[in-house]
Amino acid sequence: MKILILGAAGQIGRMLAKDLIEQTENDLVLYARNASNRLKDLASERVSLANGDFSDYAHLVDAMKGVDAIYLNDMNDKKGVETIVKAMKAVGVKRIIAASILGIYDEVPGAFGDWNRRMVGDRGIQLHKDTVALVETPELDYTILRLTWLYNQPGNCKYHLTNKGEPFQGAQVTRQAVSQLIVDILKDQGGKYIKSSIGVSEPDTNWDKPSFY
């Protein structure tokens, strides 16, 4: 399988590349601005680098050729997501795992939900509602990751999942756990995660806010 990581220079993008190299035999395409310099330490026989941003339609189409699945690390740019989806349809790639934020379905209850809305703001939540809607379509085999608040803790790969329509649980999760979840999703052969939107958090963190705030 060949996997394209869009936004590969981000923290989770880098972690995911390393985890996929170690845990799978997949080939990777790492797409980022100035990837040839920023990600040259990851280049290998199995890993190719592609320079570009999310608005570069021609570069995206070129990077997607021969790709089986895409991980999109950032959904903050509506025009960028529109361009990515357009490129996917042009090339014929259907499988995408896309990282978004919690709260886009008003699914976070209680004090933590109130805190999250104050921190993210209505405009931030609406932006992610709009970009998720571009991906959450019948034409694509999508998995939306609604990530809670992120931090780093090497070795902590524990995650808890909630389905769309269920109350969101958990105030924080490690980037290491998110990377491992993406590996697990990509390794799944049963279609368990296709056309799903899952909340991602750390077990036993049902608090009023993350521990690092």
Task: Tell me the per-residue pLDDT of 69-103, one tens digit each, with 9 for 90 and over.
Answer: 999 999 999 999 999 999 999 999 999 999 999 99
**Among candidates 112, 136, 150, which has minimal Cα distance to 196?**
136
For residue 183, give the 3-state DSSP assignment.
helix
What are residue 92's DSSP bridge partners?
none
pLDDT score of 79: 98
**Among candidates 212, 90, 101, which has minimal Cα distance to 147?**
101
pLDDT band at 113 (very low <50, low <70, confident <90, very high): very high
d(CA 6, CA 75): 10
**Among candidates 21, 210, 212, 30, which has minimal Cα distance to 102?**
210
Domains of the chain: 2-201 (3.40.50.720)
Q: In the chain, what percentage of residues exceed pLDDT 70?
A: 100
